[in-house]
Amino acid sequence: MPQIEAASPHVMNTYGRLPIALSHGRGVRVWDVNGKEYLDALGGIAVNTLGHGHPRLVPALQDQVARMIHCSNYYHVPLQEQLAAKLVELSGLTNAFFCSTGLEANEAALKLARKYGHDKGITNPKVVVYEKAFHGRSIATLSATGNPKVQAGFGPLVEGFIRVPLNDIEALKQATEGDKDVVAVFFEAIQGEGGVNPMQLAYMRQVRALCDERGWLMMIDEVQCGMGRTGKWFAHQWAGIKPDVMPLAKGLGSGVPVGAVVAGPKAANIFQPGNHGTTFGGNPLAMRAGVETIRIMEEDGLLQNAERVGAHLKTAFEKAFAGNPGVKEVRGQGLMLGIELAKPCGVLVQRAADAGLLLSVTADSVVRMVPALILTQAEADEIVALLVPLIQAFLAE
């Protein structure tokens, strides 16, 4: 079989790509155009909830493609109501808006927060955001992001953000002391791109109480950590709280682009016709992908699987690296795991791929795994067997 070059001379140079071109997949395995097989612990960056080529998702999507891919939001789209009702049931919130990506969902959340303020007579509304946060790459969402590398070259940034450290309620109180313009607090329940940094459950409860006391919206970005990845539908549910606004995307359509903002009573009626919209948002194909993804997750107990296999994987890494000063921490929950090393480790991405394992390194020194939620314990053991020696050898260099 001829070797096919992985190169893209006409595609904009926005990603530092590996010299690999993937061709197809099945479950948590993918093959490149040269026939090399990989175990996929990245899942398209927390997107491929059901893995690749799922035997029940594929025919459902084929059926939907043949019926209707897209119409317009000028009409009612019954599948939107079906997916919205399901997200309402799973979240305990009341209404959903549909878009296609995570940044769009976050952009909509930020617009909701601003209009919430304007409706109360606050003309310069401010939103509290967090250090190391990642919310997307539009101008507003990169302004909310807490990573100078993401912002460099794109100023002036959008105004109206107050940045605070994670898990420090006193810092949040101090930063907002006497500020009547604050309208919302916005964070990821577990930061993804920032290095798999969980918000403490007690902290989330404290923020909930503060938002209630001050009349702020609590907005939780569940784009990466949501949709069952941690073993609950949404990661904040481990804290027993409900946000007012919850952006979703990534895993919601198991690979078909779909985003959503789910809102509770404080935020569900802020947008009125003309305030917000997007051409592709809520199209029948995306909605069917969401409905079928959730149906299969429920039928196959994938939340329980994510929790169980994730705990197994985490324990295996903790054991393997116990007492190794090169490993600072193994953290995360369910199938959202990070291994923080004591030195930058970007080279591990290529080395792991060479060994037949796909993963990513984020925040320079955190090896991140966000595989499909169908991962079995045996497949988790394969990940451990491939990755542990690579990290050990790297740390010994």
Ligand X SMILES: Cc1ncc(COP(=O)(O)O)c(C=O)c1O
Q: Which residues bind ligand X (CB under 6 A)?
A: 101-103, 106, 134-136, 188, 192-193, 221, 223-224, 249
Q: Please, what sign has the CA dihedral across residues 56, 62, 65, 66?
A: negative
Minimum CB distance to ligand X smaller for 49 or for 316: 49
Minimum CB distance to ligand X smaller for 102 or for 282: 102
Contact yes or no for 375/309 (Cβ under 8 A): yes
Nearest distance in Å: CB 249, ligand X: 5
The residue number whose beta carbon is nearest to ligand X equals 102
Minimum CB distance to ligand X smaller for 117 or for 192: 192
Nearest distance in Å: CB 238, ligand X: 17
Nearest distance in Å: CB 251, ligand X: 11
Can you state the percent helix, strand and coil of the chain, rounding each to 5? 40, 20, 45
Long-range contacts of 267-271 (CB under 8 A, 24+ apart): 267/112, 267/116, 267/217, 268/93, 268/94, 268/95, 269/95, 270/112, 270/115, 270/116, 270/119, 271/97, 271/111, 271/112, 271/115
Nearest distance in Å: CB 326, ligand X: 27
Neighbour tally for 240: CB within 10 Å? 10
- The tokens of 124 are what? 């310069």
Q: How far apart are CA 103 and CA 112, in angstroms?
A: 14
Give the total residue count for the chain. Answer: 397
Contact yes or no for 199/145 (Cβ under 8 A): no
Minimum CB distance to ligand X smaller for 203 or for 394: 203
Nearest distance in Å: CB 191, ligand X: 7
Contact yes or no for 41/388 (Cβ under 8 A): no
Minimum CB distance to ligand X smaller for 29 or for 137: 137
Minimum CB distance to ligand X smaller for 146 or for 192: 192
Nearest distance in Å: CB 94, ligand X: 22
Contact yes or no for 252/260 (Cβ under 8 A): yes
Nearest distance in Å: CB 386, ligand X: 24
Q: How far apart are CA 16 and CA 360, in angstroms?
A: 12
Minimum CB distance to ligand X smaller for 134 or for 216: 134
